[in-house]
Structure 1
Amino acid sequence: MKKSRLLENIFSMVTLRAMEYILSFILVPYLLRVLGPAQYGAIAFMQGIIGYFNICITYGFNMTAPRDIAQAKEKDIPRLFSTYFWSTVLLWVGVTVLFFAGYGVLQTVWSVKLDLPLFFAVYTSIIGLVIFPIWYFQGIQEMRYITILNMVGRFVTMGLIFLFVRNPSDYILAALLQSCTPLFAGILCWKVIHDMSPGILHRPVWSDMKKAYKEGWQIFLSTLAINLYTTSDVVILGVLTNDTIVGYYSGADKLIGCIKRAVGAVNDAVYPYISKVMQESRERGIQFLRKQLMVYTVCGVVGGVVLYLLSPWGIPLLLGPKYIPSIGPLQIMSFVPLVVAMSNVMGYETMLPLGMEKIYSKVLLVASVFNLAIIYPLISWGGAEGTSWAVFCTETLVTVMMVGILWKKHILIRN
């Protein structure tokens, strides 16, 4: 039954990512062509800023909540659901207040200005993040609901984009509609939750919330570190160059992101399953992860070679001749999905279920420091291509450090 549920969840999440992949290959080229590098780059830059909201509000609950719910007795699930939901809401309110207070100071002292209409358009995705408890569906291992709800929201917003986004001046509307996908899915999910578990949401209990914050702290640090060498690279590129160069990089990054999301879908489905298996039999869990690592390696090498060779042909076809400068960044990042897939198995699926949160955090913090050390000289040297090299080198460093740690501890890599 467990294997059947796992296969169903993997199928659901892979189906979701496959549909996202297909829709992205329809939508992203359309937006890149219609909006142009500068306006699309402006959206990517703002999404990078909103990424900080995402990381603070998620906090680490995307990993601790599915694990806790998967391992909990049925009678304890309403308490856990309420704890994690209200903890997320509190973080959302706090982070929003702090941001606008900080922005007010920066605007007064240094005359820093944001494109506020664009900011609020992208900020809509944060509301969706808060009200859509994906971690709950992961924890009860019912991923099909994530797939269905996300796809309904995505089809609605995609249809609206094709209807109303026609030229570069529609970039704010384009950003808003893209950001509405999690909002629509979040609104719909509460009907599902109510039908499945009526009365599941209780009043917040501060002692439980405090415990959730404490348990999620190491994961939060890890996720913050990841953000420093992923989302922050786009923000730094925008600060040091301009929206057009950000657009060139983002064109390649969006295509790589489609592949990474497919890999992440499998990881998300496996994580609650492997957390429970590790609790019952560590040896059986390790055997499963070794097989997964072999599959990722073979597929990643073949896929990386194909992506590298087809980039000069694929970029003009998908994105248009204006995005010829995106070919170099895409080729540089061709093997990033492989490297990320390997590090996800060794970190997300191995270290976290085994309680190695502190080591996991340290690896990612070291990687983030490394990225910050190389990002400025690489951007100064190569702009969008320099940013791509920073991403590739940093992700490779993460994987190498995890291999070394697990090898030394005789976990996963050897007996």
Structure 2
Amino acid sequence: MSLRLQVCQSNVSNYYIQEDILKNTRLLENIFSMVTLRAMEYILSFILVPYLLRVLGPAQYGAIAFMQGIIGYFSLCINYGFPLIAPRDIAQAKESDIPRLFSAYFWAMVLLWLLVSVVFFAGYQLLLLVYPVTLDLPLFFAVYTSVIGLVIFPIWYFQGIQQMRYITILNLSGRMVTMLLLFLLVRSPDDYVMAAFLMSCTPLFAGILSWKVIRDICPGILLKPVWKDMQATYREGWQIFVSSLAVNLYTTSDIVILGVLTNDTIVGYYSGADKLIGCIKQAVSAVNAAVYPYISKVMQESIERGLHFLKKQLMVYTVLGVLGGAVLYLLCPWGIPWLLGEKYIPSVGPLQVMAFVPLVVAMSNVMGYETMLPLGMEKIYSKVLITASIFNLIIICPLISWKGAEGTALAMLCTETMVTVIMAVVLWKKRILLR
């Protein structure tokens, strides 16, 4: 072998080594950014949520949670399948194509926001002619603010360019402002509308700030809407939207069904437990959000290397999830009265039932979100979630009638477990990940 050939091979080898180091460094930075965000959100929630639960009481906090469930349908339709599809497309795109993709997804979301809002308000007016529906309109519009924030804060863009630190900075900035205002302005149960409004303002503040950052990163990124490009985003996101709709039927809808079948106080007991579980699930989703664009790109280059990474991640999740779930189950009878007050003791049961939900969700996210989607298995992913949502609809009402808030928690645990088991069986049969 000639000296020139050896030097050439050495340079190529060094190039790939440096490229891998750069990718891993960026991945670690993104994971650190997202975990830092979730950790800070957890700390702030640890301070704020108990304060709001104590000041507002189970009934008023339950009313907010119920309205957030209704607004969740707006978010579902507006998000479509974009939070999963857009980061992947942007991560895999050439730099010159990013403005076109960004504009297509952004304007597609704006159009969905306008359509959903018009349909809802027109439908509500028609319903009033037939049946006198009682809807707390001030509370509704207070929570509706979060929908505007959802549209104008393109988190999916920062995920796609793998710059999650901006999400961290912007989210925390918005959260700090709203948290300060909540402590200053919310002093009694009568302030529940103000509390709902300020809680919904975080994405709005973050979204406004994000456009300054976006202009600095990529000036002129927002182009005029092109219907053909928007149509393409709708086609590509359809399967994921169906999956998201299925997931919504056993997450957001459960709390709405609980409110319809019981009352705001019981919703408040369930929400107290659900908020604490949500803090843990946010930490898991932070890692998933950072890994997803990275693993999508790695899968393009080497499926074997991507699966090797995911197996390690699954192992870490399993160990931490088992330990964390056991600790949460044992400590919550003492922790709930200390954090939320004696009036929230009925939240202990639902929290114990959901203690291992973060573990189950973490495992299903690795197998579905991080494995099936990058491998183009959207249809299978969608079918699994649709099956689970049908199962949830079958069990949720009997379980609520039997155990109320604990029944809702049990329905959540059973449904999430079913999702994980089915995904594991599918990947096992296809000799992916679990072999």
In structure 2, what is the Cα distance between the partners aligned to 1:74 and 1:195? 15
- Structure 2's unaligned 5+ residue stretches are 1-21
In structure 1, what is the Cα distance between the partners aligned to 2:257 and 2:126? 21
1:348 CA drift (Å): 0.2
Give the aligned partner of residue 410 of structure 2. 389
Give the aligned partner of residue 271 of structure 1. 292
Give the aligned partner of residue 364 of structure 1. 385
Q: Does 1:26 align with 2:47?
A: yes
In structure 2, what is the Cα distance between the partners aligned to 1:310 and 1:293? 25
1:244 alignment partner, one of 242, 245, 265? 265
Q: Does 1:202 align with 2:223?
A: yes
- Normalising by structure 2, report the TM-score: 0.95
In structure 2, what is the Cα distance between the partners aligned to 1:218 and 1:111? 36
Give the aligned partner of residue 167 of structure 2. 146
* CA RMSD after TM alignment: 0.4
Equivalences for residues 298-337 of structure 1 within 5 A: 298-337=319-358
Give the aligned partner of residue 411 of structure 1. 432
CA contact (8 A) 1:70 1:276 kept: yes
In structure 1, what is the Cα distance between the partners aligned to 2:289 and 2:220? 27
In structure 2, what is the Cα distance between the partners aligned to 1:169 and 1:22? 26
In structure 1, what is the Cα distance between the partners aligned to 2:387 and 2:171? 34
* 1:146-185 Cα deviation digits (max 9, x unpaired): 0000000000000000001000000000000000000000
Q: Does 1:172 align with 2:158?
A: no
2:180 alignment partner, one of 159, 164, 184? 159
Give the aligned partner of residue 152 of structure 2. 131
1:113 CA drift (Å): 2.2
1:296 alignment partner, one of 317, 330, 333? 317
In structure 1, what is the Cα distance between the partners aligned to 2:132 and 2:365? 41
In structure 1, what is the Cα distance between the partners aligned to 2:43 and 2:74? 28
Letter in 2 for 1:48: G
2:305 alignment partner, one of 284, 300, 325? 284
SS in 2 for 1:141: coil
Give the aligned partner of residue 51 of structure 1. 72
Give the aligned partner of residue 41 of structure 1. 62
Give every structure 1 segment of 4 or more consecutive aligned residues whose post-TM-superposition deviation is greater than 2 Å.
Answer: none
SS in 2 for 1:45: helix
Q: Does 1:71 align with 2:87?
A: no
In structure 2, what is the Cα distance between the partners aligned to 1:109 and 1:374? 30
In structure 1, what is the Cα distance between the partners aligned to 2:124 and 2:360? 37
1:107 CA drift (Å): 1.5
In structure 1, what is the Cα distance between the partners aligned to 2:389 and 2:112? 23
Count residues in correspondence.
414
2:34 alignment partner, one of 1, 4, 13? 13
In structure 2, what is the Cα distance between the partners aligned to 1:262 and 1:109? 45
- Structure 1's unaligned 5+ residue stretches are none
Give the aligned partner of residue 8 of structure 2. none
CA contact (8 A) 1:107 1:113 kept: no
Give the aligned partner of residue 104 of structure 1. 125
Identity percentage of aligned residues: 79
SS in 2 for 1:354: coil
Higher gyration radius (CA): 2
* 1:244-302 Cα deviation digits (max 9, x unpaired): 00000000000000000000000000000000000000000000000000000000000
1:100 CA drift (Å): 0.5
- Normalising by structure 1, report the TM-score: 0.99
1:213 CA drift (Å): 0.1
SS in 1 for 2:201: helix
Letter in 2 for 1:74: E
